[in-house]
Structure 1
Amino acid sequence: MATIESIQNAYIDYVLTEGSQPKSVYIFAKQNEMTEAEFYQFFGSFEAVEQAIWAGFANKTIAEIKTQEVWAEYSAREKALSFFYGFFELLKSSRSFAIYTINKQPKGFTTPRVFEPLKDIYEGFADEILKEGIESTELTDRKFFSKRYKDALWIQFVFVLNFWVNDNSAGFEKTDEAIEKGVNVTFDLFQRSPIDNLFEYGKFLVKNSRN
């Protein structure tokens, strides 16, 4: 009997062996001893299968890192780093599939459809840890800009994903370095900086200036 996992595994095996999607759901189902109806019970298309696989990477990473005993004590920065390290560690075992799907996406500034569910999950996680960071005053609550923090983290994620695809270092050590430097720089921008002090001083001068 077909399951979500069995369909995903069969799909991954097919595209990595053939280098392309099956020509039809009928052919794919027949090769894997299931009916079309069984396939459509779980997925509406091959694209939906790919979306679910990527979303699964994110969900599994979040579930695993939240079981860590020290999770509750982590800062927002440490939680973000934990997600990045966990996600790319998990992705190592599916590198061929990841590269296959990434390489066939159209180039551009919009999020490819295959990553849309993953992005929703990631941004939900980012929202959660960023709100915690602002409430604890670890991060600066800036008018208008705070709402864009999660966008900056998504851009950082996409950058690291593309970096990882092209990383030829042993154990992908350079990707680990890119994560550490990139996430830390991003969170440095979220924290209070000399620019904030200058802005506050400017507001003070305007408010207290004499005509």
Structure 2
Amino acid sequence: MATIESIQDAYIDYVLTEGAQPKSVYIFAKQNEMTEAEFYQFFGSFEAVEQNIWAGFATKTLTEIKAQEVWAQYAAREKALSFFYGFFELIKSSRSFAIYTINKQPKGFSTPRVFEQLKDIFENFADEILKEGIETAELSDRKFFSKRYKDALWIQFVFVLNFWVHDNSAGFEKTDEAIEKGVNVTFDLFQRSPIDNLFEYGKFLAKNGGFKEKMGF
């Protein structure tokens, strides 16, 4: 009997062997001793299979990192780093499939359809840790901008993913370095800075008469 896992495994094997999707669900099902009905019980299309595989990478990563004893002690930055490192360690064993699906996506600024489920999972995770970071004052709660933090983190994730695709260093050590530098820079921007202090000072002056009255001008 077909299962989600057996269909995914068969699909990955097919596309990596043939270099393209099966011509039809009927052909794919027949080659894997299942009926079309069994396939459609789990997936509506081959695209849905790919989306589910990528979402599965994220879900498995979150399950593994949240099971660590130190997870509850991590700050938001450390939780983000843990996800990035865990995710890219996990997909090493599926690199050929990852590159296949990424390379066939249309170029552009919008999120490729194959990443839609993955993005939803990632953004829910990002929301969770960023809210924790703001509540503990690890991150700055900036009006209007705080809501965009998760977007910046997603952009960083996509950047690292593309970097990893083209990384030919041993053990993908350059990707690990890109994660460390990229996530840390991103979180540095989320933290309070002299600009925040200047902005707060400007608001204080505006509420309390500004420069002219205080300086006697």
Task: State TM-score, norm by structure 1.
Answer: 0.98
Note the C-alpha offset of 1:10.
Answer: 0.2
Q: Distance in 2 between matches of 1:141 and 1:203?
A: 15
> How big is each residue's C-alpha offset from its partner over 1:183-207, in whole Å with a ceiling of 9 and x where there is no partner?
0000000000011011111112222
Q: Distance in 1 between matches of 2:96 and 2:146?
A: 36
Q: Distance in 2 between matches of 1:205 and 1:124?
A: 38
C-alpha root-mean-square deviation of aligned residues, in Å? Answer: 0.5
Q: Distance in 2 between matches of 1:146 and 1:83?
A: 20
> How big is each residue's C-alpha offset from its partner over 1:129-185, in whole Å with a ceiling of 9 and x where there is no partner?
001101111111111111000000000000000000000000000000000000000
Number of positions where the alignment pairs a residue of Structure 1 with one of Structure 2: 208
> How big is each residue's C-alpha offset from its partner over 1:35-87, in whole Å with a ceiling of 9 and x where there is no partner?
00000000000000000000000000000000000000000000000000000
Q: Distance in 2 between matches of 1:8 and 1:161?
A: 21
Q: Distance in 1 between matches of 2:140 and 2:206?
A: 22
Q: Distance in 2 between matches of 1:122 and 1:205?
A: 40
Q: Distance in 2 between matches of 1:113 and 1:119?
A: 10
> How big is each residue's C-alpha offset from its partner over 1:70-115, in whole Å with a ceiling of 9 and x where there is no partner?
0000000000000000000001000000000000000000001110
Any unmatched runs of 5+ in structure 2? 209-217
Structure 1 residue aligned with 2:89: 89
Q: Distance in 2 between matches of 1:86 and 1:63?
A: 10
Q: Distance in 1 between matches of 2:31 and 2:137?
A: 56
Note the C-alpha offset of 1:11.
Answer: 0.1
